[in-house]
Amino acid sequence: MLTSKQRSYLRGVANTEAAIIQIGKGGVDQTVIQSTREALAARELIKCRVLQNALVTAGESSELLADALKADVVCVTGSTFVLFKRNPQNPKIEIPTKKNPKPSKK
C-alpha cells in the first residue's frame, strides 16, 4: 500500500515515461497479464494505455491488472494508468519513506 507522498513521487517519475502496455478490444486477458507481469519485473513502474476500441475503461483495467499481479495503482488519468510493484530481489526505484523522505531520482 502506497502513501499519498509515494504516489505523488511515482506519478512524477512516470510522467516522462511512454506507455509500454496497450489494452485493446480484447480487454485484460492472459496475454496482457503476462506481458504486464514481465514489464513490472523488469521496470517496477509502468504506464499503460487503454485504446478507444477497448470494452473496458482505464479504471477497470487498472484494478483488474493490479488485483491479478498484486501491484499498486499509482494513478489513472484519462485513458492511461500507472502501475507499481516493488521487485524484492532487484529494486530499481527508491520511493520516499520516513527514514529517507527525499530519495534521489535515477
Give domain limits for the chain. 4-84
If you average pLDDT over residues 50-58, what whole number do you get?
95
User: Is residue 91 a contact partner of residue 100, using CB atoms and an 8 Å limit?
Assistant: no
Name the 3-class secondary structure at 75: strand
Q: Give the C-alpha separation, 24 to 16, whole Å.
A: 23
Rounded Cα distance between 51 and 105, Å, is: 30
pLDDT at res. 103:
80
Q: Which CATH architecture has domain 4-84?
A: 2-Layer Sandwich (3.30)
The predicted model scores a pTM of: 0.91
pLDDT band, residue 101 (cuts 50/70/90): confident
The mean per-residue pLDDT over the stretch 39-49 comes to: 96
The whole-number average pLDDT for the span 17-31 is 95
Output Rg (C-alpha) for the chain, integer angstroms.
14
pLDDT beyond 60 at 106: no
Closest CA to 56 of 34, 30, 23: 23
For 60-77, write each residue's pLDDT tens digit: 999 999 999 999 999 999
d(CA 31, CA 90): 24
Cell of 60: 477497470
- Report the pLDDT value the prediction gives residue 105, as an integer from 0 to 100: 64
Which pLDDT score, from 0 to 100, does residue 94 have? 87
For residue 70, the SS3 value is coil
Q: What is the C-alpha to C-alpha distance for residues 33 and 72, in angstroms, rounded to an integer? A: 14
Mean pLDDT of 43-60: 96
